[in-house]
């Protein structure tokens, strides 16, 4: 049995890794380089930015994945020698307007989020800017070094003799005959299989259009900037007014991000750079004297309420989706890919698949 997976971000890479245990052949096809789109561009926080603002469907996937990541990072390091750097720092939310709602959610969901005195925050996060009055804290929030995560996933796939990775190969159409999937036609060659999984992020909708399907997944541009500081400069993730600062183990600080509906344009803009710098300095004034190491943009796969599409497509035997994760692709990836694997292999699903199935949402 074989499967073709279209799109090699974290969702495609991890789907391929999971399915390689059950398939005779897995072909992973990427239009550019593996892991170089949204998976590379994101911040890598292993939590939705504001988990209480999402639906129960997103929360269910996030909880499963958050518990999975620490051991998974160690497994990838042992297998490949590449460390995804799952870095547990905790996260402070500052001056939230919906603080009461957040605390109610935490109590109902049994998650370790609680109110902390602001003087405690200033002692714990010395570089934090002045003027903040209230804070919530979740101590078990981690961030993953997402560029290293996708490199480790690719290296893990390269240890599998039944996995083929095809890069710089754009799909022209998904082949279907009398309602049955036949494979995909690319600019270079045609690949044949009775099972095709679409994990193409913001480009998933375009691919399904070749079959006459309308998938409500669209690109949402996000811009970020990167600073380099001392390794102990920022001990925790901090968020305020919709912007965040994320510490990496080596002292790099990511600040993001914008939300822009600009089609497939990934060009960084001077306006966004100015706005992100202002947010960075408000959160961490010492960054006013730090150099911006890098400024970039990526395209998130926006979807209704941020709920991904996971499962078979009705009317097209052998066509599967695992896409539309919006801002939460990294945090939702382990659960999403395990759920897809369960559905494709007939195992008991890790969670109820009904809310994610395309048959009820297309």
Return the bridge partners of 223, or none. 297
- Among candidate residues 11, 12, 91, the one with its CA nearest the CA of residue 47: 91
Enumerate residues 6+ apart whose C-beta is below 8 A from 187: 169, 170, 172
CA pseudo-torsion sign 9, 15, 16, 18: positive
Query: Tens-of-pLDDT digits for all 362 residues of the chain?
Result: 999 999 999 999 999 999 999 999 999 999 999 999 999 999 999 999 999 999 999 999 999 998 899 899 999 999 999 999 998 999 999 999 999 999 999 999 888 999 999 999 999 999 999 999 999 999 989 999 999 999 999 999 999 999 999 999 999 999 999 999 999 999 889 999 999 999 999 999 999 999 999 999 999 999 999 999 998 999 999 999 999 999 999 999 999 999 999 999 999 999 999 999 999 999 999 999 999 999 999 999 999 999 999 999 999 999 999 999 999 999 999 999 999 999 999 999 999 999 999 998 88
CA-to-CA distance for 171 and 189, rounded, in angstroms? 10
Ordered domains of the chain (ranges, CATH): 2-46+148-217+305-360 (3.50.50.60), 91-139+218-302 (3.30.9.10)
Question: 126-143: b or e for each residue (b if 16 or more CB lie within 10 Å)?
Answer: ebbbeebeebbbbebbbb
Radius of gyration of the chain (CA): 20
| CA geometry: angle 338, 341, 344, nearest 5 deg | 155
| CA geometry: angle 247, 201, 195, nearest 5 deg | 130
Return the bridge partners of 175, or none. 183
Q: How many Cα atoms within 13 Å fall on the side-chain side of residue 267?
A: 6
């Amino acid at each position: 049995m074989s499967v073709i997976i279209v799109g090699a971000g974290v969702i495609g890479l991890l789907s391929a890794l999971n399915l390689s245990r059950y398939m005779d052949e897995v072909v992973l096809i990427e239009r550019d380089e593996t892991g170089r789109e949204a998976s590379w561009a994101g911040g890598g926080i292993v939590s939705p930015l504001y988990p209480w603002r999402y639906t129960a469907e997103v929360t269910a996937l996030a909880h499963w994945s958050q518990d999975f990541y620490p051991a998974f990072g160690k497994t990838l390091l042992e297998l490949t020698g590449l460390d995804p750097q799952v870095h547990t720092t905790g996260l402070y939310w500052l001056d939230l307007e919906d603080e009461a709602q957040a605390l109610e959610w935490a109590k109902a969901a049994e998650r370790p989020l609680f109110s902390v005195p602001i003087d405690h925050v200033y002692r714990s996060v010395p570089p934090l800017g002045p003027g903040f009055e209230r804070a919530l804290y979740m101590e078990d929030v981690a961030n993953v070094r997402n560029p290293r995560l996708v490199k480790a996933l690719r290296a893990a796939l390269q240890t599998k003799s039944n996995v083929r990775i095809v890069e710089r190969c754009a799909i022209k159409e998904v082949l279907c005959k009398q309602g049955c999937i036949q494979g995909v036609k690319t600019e270079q060659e045609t690949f044949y299989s009775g099972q095709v999984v679409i994990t193409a992020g913001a480009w998933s909708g375009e691919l399904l259009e070749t079959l006459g399907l309308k998938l409500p997944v669209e690109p949402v541009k996000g811009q970020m900037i990167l600073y380099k500081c001392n390794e102990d400069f920022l001990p925790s993730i901090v968020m305020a007014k919709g912007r965040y600062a994320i510490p990496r183990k080596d002292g790099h600080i990511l600040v993001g991000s914008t939300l822009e509906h600009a089609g497939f344009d990934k060009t960084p803009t001077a306006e966004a750079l100015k706005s992100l710098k202002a947010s960075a300095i408000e959160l961490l004034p010492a960054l006013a004297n730090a150099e911006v190491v890098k400024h970039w943009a990526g395209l998130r796969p926006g979807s209704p309420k941020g709920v991904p599409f996971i499962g078979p497509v009705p009317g097209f035997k052998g066509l599967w989706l695992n896409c539309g994760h919006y801002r939460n692709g990294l945090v939702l990836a382990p659960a999403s890919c395990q759920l897809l694997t369960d559905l494709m292999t007939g195992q008991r699903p890790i969670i109820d698949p009904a809310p994610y199935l395309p048959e009820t949402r297309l």
